[in-house]
Amino acid sequence: MQYWRKPLDADKIQVPHGEIHIVRDRCKGCGFCVEYCPRDVLELSKQFNIKGYHPPEAVLPEACVHCQLCEMLCPEFAIFVTLREEVETIES
Amino acid sequence: MSKQNNNLPEHPMERLLRMDRIPHIWCSTCGIGTAVSCFISALEKFEYPMDKVAIVSGIGCTGRVAGYIKLDSFHSTHGRAIPFATGLKLANPELKVIVISGDGDLSAIGGNHLIHAARRNMDITVICVNNFIYAMTGGQSAPTTPLTANSSTAPYGNSDPPFNLPLLVGSCGATYVARWTALHIRRLTKSMHEALNKKGFSFIEVIAPCSTLYARRNRLGTGLDLMKFYHDNSEIKHGAPLEELDINFQQKIIVGKFIDKEKPTFVDNWNNWLSQKLGSKFVPYGVAKA
Amino acid sequence: MKADPKGVLTGEHYLDGDHACAEGALAAGCRFFAGYPITPSTEVAERYVSRIPMVGGIFIQMEDELASMAALVGAAWGGKKSMTVTSGPGFSLMMENIGLAAMMETPCVVVNVQRGGPSTGLPTMVGQQDMMQARWGSHGDYQIIALSPASPQEAFDYTIKCFNLAEKYRVPVLFMMDECVGHMTEKVVIPKPDEIEITPRRLTKLAPEKYLPYKTNGDLVPEMIVAGTGYKIHSTGLTHDERGYPVMSPGTQDQLVKRLCDKIKLNADDIIEIEEDQTEGAEVIVMAYGITSRVTLPAVFKARKKGIKVGYIKMITAWPFPEKRVRELAKKVKAFVMPEINLGQMVLEVERCAAGQAKTYHVPHAGGWVHDPEDIYQVIEEAVK
């Protein structure tokens, strides 16, 4: 990370945070959300849901940046993200 | 923070889904649900009264889409989604009519209707989810099954060359033609939104994984493995010549927006020509009531 | 409700049956027509498309009959009264979506100007060989209504009735013309719009949140909606429940399919129209429909002159079959005679309903021309023995 170029307006960039909601029993365990989360927030849980699939769980919930990729990719309408109020800047 | 209890807020797509029918019938790692997610996101951005939007499907796995979307929705017969939609649209030109169906439904049994709707520039949007196979009936060859791919009716590999769908509809006169995979969610959503706003015949091919039949029969892993394949092997080439859009078995898939043009629709032509020929005797059709 | 004056060409005309049928459709309020050319029905489409631009409606020549019929079902849900016309080969193709129309309970009218078959058969010559196909042509159990006109005037009048029945029972109504009636030119009187009774669509008055698309309210026919009015309904060709949602269970199938059949069967008395002449006290009854009902008349008159008590029934409604009346008469008469331009179709129904109580004679004709009345007379003579 230390080698990354730092944007000149880094102090102005606001990083949103998302709150992940998982409808566990609707999930069919395809793993699309886990695979494509750009922040590796999700992992398939060890537990089974009611259908016998392993739904995802947020293992790094604080890392979610509300990109909603999981929400769009999910074929089951089983995961979605709401925007959290607090934002942070890259500087902080 | 993640919530995993029952006190969830409403999923933002629930407004446009028949939640009393969810979970849907599609298999784990099937891509149709993802295409539907994208479609619903596009609908949410579509500035049009949702009461005036209708969905028509044919038969097959993708044929079930109409039944899950909370709009006026019709699950018609095999291959006939486009003529059904044609009747619906012509009877009530205020409607925005979208056909969502599969590759076999639209291009095999419904192939004649597909080319003629494109030729007429019927003002409908057609979303064709292409999973390369007849999935509902157990994995038979479709007119989109790539050469050499295995299906239950091509157990030694397919020797029957497939359609290049963008070329087919483009050459028939479609005003909007795009192809994306189920992994290109943002671009697919944007394309769907553009198609919804398009006047005339718009067509989007969505390459989507079928894990249970296409992937399994061809030993390609799961739908997730197919998504990874799309990630590594699809190439965005907007405006690519349609002849170059063939899809070969497990080879590069060219995606993008290929056609986006303006043309009078079927009803425009009817009204323009007949008012020219018949003058004031002619009662224009489908023009907003005064 | 009275007819919309825009579509009614009031006056006395000299029209063939096909043109009269098109005028009937316009008078009935048909504003959507999807069709595919086929002899001997094409003139209906030609007449319609030459008139509709001035009436205010739309015509589309589809790529085939499969598409025409599918478009018809779509257009009906879009709120228009809709029709298509065809002949035997096209009728076969339409069967698929006639089934869909029956299943989705979609009002629409399909005209079949019958020609000789099977297959391409006799494109320009008469037949009455699609009568059983009209009843049973699409797969599965369902009931439809079928009417058969015997003259251009009837082609006009009963086309309107077809539309009215379609709306009343939410069912595809098949108008079984034949080439002779289609191409026969006679005087047709078109009444004033306020003399033409029109059945409007049975649209629900319920609010969207209270409405279920396939819930009936006592009379077996659910109320309908027009797509785009906020009801957000689902309709499917799959077996469905009151919500219109697919339910794959024997129970739902039983409920739905029985109702689809019952709504016609139990209302047969209201639907059926037949014309009777001297059936009381008759020894023999000649039953016929379409052009054959006219060709039969000289034979009936000749028999009467010879002192045979011949009753005559012209069936305007072919389906549902006038079962009750035939059963009643079977107890009183010696025999039924049915001439048809086929090798035995509707006569099977007569035979079934006569149930051995009266004999049944068929006067077959393979098609291409109408019967010689003398052939019919011979059978009457034999039947009375």
What are the residue ranges spanned by the domains of chain B? Answer: 21-279
- Dihedral sign for Cα atoms in the order B9, B11, B17, B19: negative
Contacts of A53 in chain B (CB under 8 A): 28
Taking the CA of residue B207 and the nearest CA in chain A, the distance in Å comes to 14
What pLDDT is stored for residue A2 in this prediction?
A: 62
Contact flag C71-B76 (C-beta cutoff 8 Å): no
Instruction: Convert the pLDDT of each residue in C278-313 to its tens digit.
Output: 999 999 999 999 999 999 999 999 999 999 999 999
CATH topology (fold) of C275-384 = Rossmann fold (3.40.50)
Instruction: Convert the pLDDT of each residue in C73-102 to its tens digit.
Output: 999 999 999 999 999 999 999 999 999 999
What pLDDT is stored for residue C218 in this prediction?
A: 84
3-class secondary structure per residue, C199-234: CCCCECCCCHHHCCCCCCCCCCCCCECCCCCCCCCE
Nearest neighbour of B2 by CB, restricted to A22, A26, A53? A22
Average of per-residue pLDDT across C209-223: 95
What pLDDT is stored for residue C277 in this prediction?
A: 98
> Which amino acid, one-letter code, is at B53?
V
Instruction: Convert the pLDDT of each residue in C163-182 to its tens digit.
Output: 999 999 999 999 999 999 99
Checking if the pLDDT of C238 tops 60, the result is yes
Checking if the pLDDT of A91 tops 70, the result is no
- A57/B contact by beta carbon, under 8 A: yes
Contact flag C58-B286 (C-beta cutoff 8 Å): yes
For residue C363, the cross-strand partners are C339
Whole-angstrom Cα Rg for chain C: 21
User: C127-137 burial string, b = 16+ CB within 10 Å, else e?
Assistant: bbbbbbbbbeb
Q: In CATH, what number is assigned to the domain containing residue A42?
A: 3.30.70.20
> Which amino acid, one-letter code, is at C225?
I
A67 falls within a domain: yes
Question: pLDDT class for A4, splitting at 50, 70, 90?
Answer: confident
What pLDDT is stored for residue A11 in this prediction?
A: 80
CATH topology (fold) of C5-195 = Rossmann fold (3.40.50)
A17 falls within a domain: no
Mean pLDDT for chain C?
Answer: 98
**Domains of chain C, residue spans:** 5-195, 275-384
* Selection from B230, B65, B99 nearest residue B174 by Cα: B99
Maximal CA-CA distance, chain C: 69
What pLDDT is stored for residue A12 in this prediction?
A: 83
First to last CA, chain C: 51
Range 96-155 of B in CB contact (< 8 A) with C? 112-113, 116
Instruction: Convert the pLDDT of each residue in C258-286 to its tens digit.
Output: 999 999 999 999 999 999 999 999 999 99
What pLDDT is stored for residue C231 in this prediction?
A: 98
Question: pLDDT class for A9, splitting at 50, 70, 90?
Answer: confident
What is the percent of chain C where pLDDT is above 90?
99
For C6, name the nearest residue in chain B, comparing CA atoms only: B283
Domain that holds residue A59: 25-89
C5-195 matches C275-384 in fold = yes
What pLDDT is stored for residue B1 in this prediction?
A: 39
Contact flag A72-B8 (C-beta cutoff 8 Å): no
Nearest neighbour of B83 by CB, restricted to C71, C228, C234? C71
Query: A interface mutation test: which of B1, B24, B68 has the most A CBs within 10 A?
Result: B1
Chain A, chain B: beta-carbon pairs less than 8 Å apart = 92
The values of phi and psi at residue B179, to 5°, are: -140, 135
Q: Is the pTM of this model over 0.90?
A: yes
The interface predicted TM-score (ipTM) is: 0.97
Q: What is the mean pLDDT of each run of 10 residues along chain B (290 residues)?
A: 61 95 96 98 97 98 97 98 98 98 98 98 98 97 98 97 98 98 98 98 98 97 97 98 97 98 98 97 82
Taking the CA of residue B198 and the nearest CA in chain A, the distance in Å comes to 23
Contacts of C78 in chain B (CB under 8 A): 87-92, 95
For B37, name the nearest residue in chain A, comparing CA atoms only: A72
| Residue showing tokens 């209270």 | C210
Nearest neighbour of B2 by CB, restricted to A20, A29, A32? A20
What pLDDT is stored for residue A15 in this prediction?
A: 87
Taking the CA of residue B83 and the nearest CA in chain C, the distance in Å comes to 5
Contact flag B24-A76 (C-beta cutoff 8 Å): yes
What pLDDT is stored for residue C260 in this prediction?
A: 98
A39 falls within a domain: yes
- Domain count across chain A: 1
Question: pLDDT class for A5, splitting at 50, 70, 90?
Answer: confident
Checking if the pLDDT of C346 tops 70, the result is yes
- The CATH H-level superfamily of B21-279 is Thiamin diphosphate (ThDP)-binding fold, Pyr/PP domains (3.40.50.970)
